[in-house]
Amino acid sequence: MANRYEKEGRAPIVLAPFNPIGSHGSQTVNSSAVFSPEIPDDADLVLVQALTQNIRFTLDGTNPTTSSGFQITAGSDALVIPIGADSEIKFIAESDGAKLEYQFGE
């Protein structure tokens, strides 16, 4: 991962390194069931990407719905999300057949 990211017209930011923990995950997520992966003990980041449909998520253990929770837009760049010791991440698709890619890290 590059350590500097610049976008035209915006201030540059320096990216911290991402060290993977555990295996890369790939999950089909539907709109009728919440998916909650187990967070490894040493993880304080999760890298996520929605490939085919938009996905919603929460970090506090509450269930997201098809219209509430933070949105990951299908086809957008992967996001790095900080997680804490008390985080419980949950995902749900806005519509069936969403493909979620994720990797925990530090």
pLDDT digits (tens, 9 = 90+) for 23-59: 999 999 999 999 999 999 999 999 999 999 999 999 9
Task: Tell me the C-alpha distance between 46 and 67, whole Å.
Answer: 22
pLDDT digits (tens, 9 = 90+) for 61-104: 999 999 999 999 999 999 999 999 999 999 999 999 999 999 99
Which residues, 6+ apart, have CB-to-CB distance to 16 below 8 Å?
none
* Architecture (CATH level 2) of domain 30-105: Sandwich (2.60)
Please tell me whether the overall predicted TM-score, pTM, comes out greater than 0.85 for this model: no
